[in-house]
Amino acid sequence: MEAAYGVSVEKVRTINVRPDRKTKFTKTGIQHGKTNAVKKAIVQLAEGEMIDLYSNM
């Protein structure tokens, strides 16, 4: 993050999002499945810094 966006990172927290169970009722019967598990990172920047997401558009 620091090299890519030129900001200083204060702290990073991670979270694991559990998969969601899905059920679909079709003509051939009930189908069960689940979504993929995802790991997210929450990045806290130093005071007064921000990332401009729309500068390259």
pLDDT tens readout for residues 5-39? 889 999 999 999 999 999 999 999 999 999 999 99
Whether 55 shows a pLDDT value over 90: the answer reads no
pTM for this structure? 0.62
Q: Is residue 16 within 8 Å of 39, Cβ to Cβ? A: yes
How far from 11 is each of 3, 8, 37, 38, CA to CA, in Å?
A: 15, 9, 23, 20
Q: What is the pLDDT of residue 46?
A: 94
Strands of the chain (E only): list them. 9-17, 21-26, 29-34, 38-45
Higher pLDDT, 4 or 10: 10
Cα separation, 35 vs 24, whole angstroms: 13
Whether 45 shows a pLDDT value over 80: the answer reads yes
